[in-house]
Amino acid sequence: MVSGPARETRTIRRAVVTGGAGFLGSHLCEQLLERGVEVVCLDNFLTGSPENVLHLMEHPGFRLVRCDVTDYVHVPGPVDLVLHFASPASPIDYLKMPIETLKVGSLGTLHTLGLAHDKGARYVLASTSEVYGDPLQHPQTEEYWGNVNPVGPRGVYDEAKRFSEAMTTAYRTSKGTDTGIVRIFNTYGPRMRADDGRAIPAFVNQALEGRPLTVAGDGSQTRSICYVDDTVAGILAMAFSAHTGPVNIGNPDELSMLRLAEWIVELTGSGSPIDYIDLPVDDPKVRRPDTTRAEQLLGWRPRVPSEEGLRRTVDWFAAQRQTARVQAV
């Protein structure tokens, strides 16, 4: 029997966020600070950037530390929460850095779990919908074991996250560490890198530049896109709860890649055409979370309509381009 929605069951005064200078991590740092939580942000800047947290540097509760969690993790003082979000997360990044991706999913998870255990802290692992691979079940529930090719090009990321889930579970069952796992589906919003290879930043920047939007295959493959504010709200609901998970955090609003490209052309007012390119190896054909568990356990569901989230994202990228033009003059 599933219990009712979670209420905040713990007091969190100080949190460690690995990968905190990345796209998603920086939003987590920001929201934790707004809740009155001190934040230690750890990042090796492999894919993250200090610019993502520049606006937080003057906050008295924020500390940025350059740190590679695959080497060693030491944080002096008390810690109530460890959020492990360090990892290359886009195909272009983990295909370029396969060893680093596997190391942060294995050694990085081991070291950050050790930190949480030593401090008696709550630990939340950022897993991913990629653990489902090219799914044979649709939509994907947390009970589904997935369809992953461990020796395919995407395997370094998929298997790193599957291993990290197993390690997190082992710490909970063998050491009693207070752990939770969130499986994050496609998230988008401000602070995404324009060149990170994911569909939304690629489409938005192609449209703003008037270049053709490059859609893989025939564009019929689907994704479910969730605005970053909603994803962060779901992660923090998990962090402040006592649930172990795994819990899917994503938006069930599923759409094809062709429809997404057409939508972005409309939102930007661009005249860009659509070009079709080869479909990447092992690219999932469908992706949509079953969010029943998140709704029942955490009382969470996405609130930002996809059109509104995409509009905000387009506006942010347009503003970034304008700022770059002014600085170049």
Q: What is the pLDDT of residue 1?
A: 33
pLDDT tier at 72, thresholds 50, 70, 90: confident
Summarize the confidence of residues 25-44 as an average pLDDT.
98
Instruction: For residue 217, tell me if it sits in a domain.
Output: no
Summarize the confidence of residues 104-120 as an average pLDDT.
98
Instruction: For residue 6, tell me if it sits in a domain.
Output: no
Report the DSSP pairing between strands 254-256 and 222-224. Answer: antiparallel
Instruction: For residue 171, tell me if it sits in a domain.
Output: yes
Q: Looking at the predicted structure, is the pLDDT value of residue 36 above 70? A: yes
CATH code, 46: 3.40.50.720
Q: Looking at the predicted structure, is the pLDDT value of residue 127 above 60? A: yes
Strand locations in 189-302 (E): 213-216, 222-224, 226-227, 247-249, 254-256, 274-277
Of 29-33, 92-96, 156-160, 294-298, which range is least confident? 92-96
Q: Are 187 and 235 in contact (CB under 8 A)?
A: no
Give residue-wise pLDDT tens across range 268-316. 999 999 999 998 888 889 999 999 999 999 999 999 999 999 999 999 9
Instruction: For residue 145, tell me if it sits in a domain.
Output: yes
Mean pLDDT of the chain, nearest integer: 94
Q: Please report, as a single letter, which amino acid is at residue 20.
A: G
Instruction: For residue 259, tell me if it sits in a domain.
Output: no
Residue with the two structure tokens 């889930």: 165
Instruction: For residue 38, tell me if it sits in a domain.
Output: yes
Give residue-wise pLDDT tens across range 188-200. 999 999 888 899 9
Distance CA 30, CA 32 (A): 6
Query: Of 157, 171, 188, 227, which one is the catalytic site residue?
Result: 157
Distance CA 202, CA 281 (A): 19
Instruction: For residue 129, tell me if it sits in a domain.
Output: yes
Q: Looking at the predicted structure, is the pLDDT value of residue 4 above 50? A: no
Instruction: For residue 309, tell me if it sits in a domain.
Output: no
Q: What is the pLDDT of residue 9?
A: 63
Evaluate if pTM is beyond 0.75: yes
Q: How far is CA 117 from CA 108, 151, 165, in A?
A: 14, 32, 16
Q: What is the pLDDT of residue 8?
A: 55
The reply to whether omega before 273 is within 30° of 0 (cis) is: no
Above pLDDT 70, what percent of the chain? 97
The reply to whether omega before 139 is within 30° of 0 (cis) is: yes
Q: Which domain holds residue 45?
A: 14-188+227-252+283-303
Residue 316, judged by CB atoms within 10 A of its CB (0-12, 13-18, 19+), counts as middle
pLDDT tier at 325, thresholds 50, 70, 90: confident
Strand locations in the chain (E): 14-18, 38-43, 62-66, 81-84, 122-128, 179-184, 187-188, 213-216, 222-224, 226-227, 247-249, 254-256, 274-277
Is 227 known to be catalytic? no
Number of domains in the chain: 1
Q: What is the pLDDT of residue 159?
A: 97
Q: How far is CA 155 from CA 145, 162, 216, 282, in A?
A: 15, 10, 19, 9
Q: How many helices (H) and strands (E) does the chain have?
A: 9, 13
